[in-house]
Structure 1
Amino acid sequence: MPAGVRRRRALTDARGATVCTYALGDRAGLPWARDLRDVVGDPTEAILAGLSGWAVSAPVDVGERLLAAGARPLRKAHRMDLDPAAAPPERGAAPPVEGVRLVPCDRGAGALLPAVLAAYPPGHPDHPADQDEASRLALTADLLAGSILGPLSREASGLAVDAGDRVVAGVLVFMAEPGLAWIGDVFKDPARGPRGVGALLLRRAAAVLAGQGVPVLGLAVTEGNPARGLYERLGFTTVSTSWTVAVP
């Protein structure tokens, strides 16, 4: 996960030496040290002492040390990157099923929520067991407001709506850092979203970003999520893997 627009913080050990840096966030009501990097030595002891009760997203080796020390696993994820200009898709491609049209992401969290909830049912690797509908709505609203991953790119983001103007799928793209666009969510209601619409929205996002000269489009995909195969077919490559854990 990218650092986002907020300044990074340093975590120090008992001697006052910096052992790592992180970006501050919020995850399911927990303070969240995300995108842990600049690791010096073994930061386990400092994390246990300084970030007790936090969620921490760290490289795999650090995450595994924390798990061995009693942390609770939340998510193992792979960062995948794409050069939008490497194989720019066709612009203006038609929706794959009649009656579905693409629109800008110009709607509030409430309009997106039914499709977001349907996209991650129980049993899905990204099913938010620790969130209720109200907290998921609040998270989506915070994403759209740009308070988590940076400002929403309304040009690259897009929604698919059915004949009744209901959102059935969407891709939310954020300008997380200079030169880095980040996909904060890809969702589709499996009962109403047509096959191929997610790929269509992703290709459209990449085309827009290529036209803007953005060099990197990134995302994080949870271990076991079958969408990883789609991302690979679209040209995304895995660049790193991380653990998110709850520190005791």
Structure 2
Amino acid sequence: MPLTDDLLQADDGTALARLWLHDDDGERVAGGVRPEPGVPVARVAEQARRDLAGLRLETPDDDLAAALVAGGVPLERSATELRHDLADLPAPAPLPDGWAFAAAGWDDDLAAATAAAYAPGHPDGGWTENDTATVRGMFESADPVPPLAPASARLVGPDGRSAGHVLCAGPVPWTAYPCAWILNIAVGPGGQGRGLGQALLLHALHGTRSAGLPALALSVADGNPARRLYDRAGFTEVTRVLTLRMPAA
């Protein structure tokens, strides 16, 4: 197979694209696929369909994604990676009366609030049982990564029940720079419109800094209204991330 750990090659050995082959939660991923200068994206797409069959492909290149889609490869997600370098952080936001932060964790109330926040039709897709299993795995066995406790928190409402959370990990292995990563941030319907999302985000930023990490990053899907929250908080764009599911050979 004309494929190395960081290079997609034509059958004659011509370098077609740079990439990063790695595993993500048991899934094989070809990340950061970038055509080499001067190489037609159609040629890269043709080789990728052969040599990356069955993999999840992530690319910042809109033209390569378009060429793959034109060839029948489904586009799974269009998103932007954002990063905050923790400079000039605003003060933590006060919570409304009766609301409080608690140690990060998972319970049935939080599962219901998160599922409601990520309802079907959400730009990031609806919350699934697999998402719940992944979060439980983080807390129960640190798999695939452990939570970053200082930057994570559970939001508790006046009734004493979990109503949202922010869940971070770090340092994470999937970026080219050291950082914490927001895996999930959600406020259930009963807490929305109270500034609680901003409070959770600021908690994550200050917690990342207290943990000694130099940045906090995340990926936000196109069309997600939370993008405005991240922009106001001072996050900046790192790269586009277009995710495609390569058909099996």
Same fold (TM over 0.5): yes
Kept in 2: contact 1:63–1:242 (CA 8 A): no
Find the aligned partners of 2:159 and 2:130 in 1 and give their Cα distance. Answer: 26
Aligned to 1:124: 122
| Displacement after TM superposition at 1:241 (Å) | 0.9
Find the aligned partners of 2:73 and 2:136 in 1 and give their Cα distance. Answer: 29
Aligned positions, number: 230
Find the aligned partners of 1:225 and 1:103 in 2 and give their Cα distance. Answer: 26
Are 2:79 and 1:77 aligned? Answer: yes
How has the CA–CA distance of structure 1 residues 71 and 37 changed in structure 2, closer, same or farther, with 3 Å as cutoff? closer
Kept in 2: contact 1:25–1:34 (CA 8 A): no
Aligned with 1:232: secondary structure? Answer: helix
Letter in 1 for 2:112: P
| Displacement after TM superposition at 1:48 (Å) | 1.0
Kept in 2: contact 1:22–1:37 (CA 8 A): no
Aligned to 1:50: 51
Aligned to 2:196: 197
Correspondence 1:215-230 to 2 at 5 A: 215-230=214-229
Kept in 2: contact 1:156–1:204 (CA 8 A): yes
Correspondence 1:161-240 to 2 at 5 A: 161-175=156-170, 176-177=172-173, 179-193=178-192, 195-240=194-239
Are 2:230 and 1:246 aligned? Answer: no
Aligned with 1:124: secondary structure? Answer: coil
Aligned with 1:56: secondary structure? Answer: strand
CA-based RMSD of the aligned residues comes to 2.7
Find the aligned partners of 2:191 and 2:30 in 1 and give their Cα distance. Answer: 34
Aligned with 1:191: secondary structure? Answer: helix
1:115 corresponds to which of 113, 116, 119? 113
| Displacement after TM superposition at 1:237 (Å) | 1.2
Letter in 1 for 2:23: L
- Unaligned 5+ runs, structure 2: none
Find the aligned partners of 2:216 and 2:57 in 1 and give their Cα distance. Answer: 23
**Higher alpha-carbon Rg:** 2
- Unaligned 5+ runs, structure 1: 1-7
Identity percentage of aligned residues: 28
1:126-163 per-position Cα deviation (integer Å, ceiling 9, x unaligned)? 223xx7x4323223224545434x33211111111113
Kept in 2: contact 1:169–1:193 (CA 8 A): no
Kept in 2: contact 1:168–1:193 (CA 8 A): no
How has the CA–CA distance of structure 1 residues 165 and 102 changed in structure 2, closer, same or farther, with 3 Å as cutoff? same
How has the CA–CA distance of structure 1 residues 227 and 207 changed in structure 2, closer, same or farther, with 3 Å as cutoff? same
Give the structure, 1 or 2, with the largest relative contact order (CA under 8 Å, sep 6 or more).
Answer: 1
| Displacement after TM superposition at 1:244 (Å) | 0.8
Aligned with 1:70: secondary structure? Answer: coil
How has the CA–CA distance of structure 1 residues 112 and 224 changed in structure 2, closer, same or farther, with 3 Å as cutoff? same
Kept in 2: contact 1:119–1:190 (CA 8 A): yes
Aligned to 1:94: 94
How has the CA–CA distance of structure 1 residues 142 and 70 changed in structure 2, closer, same or farther, with 3 Å as cutoff? farther
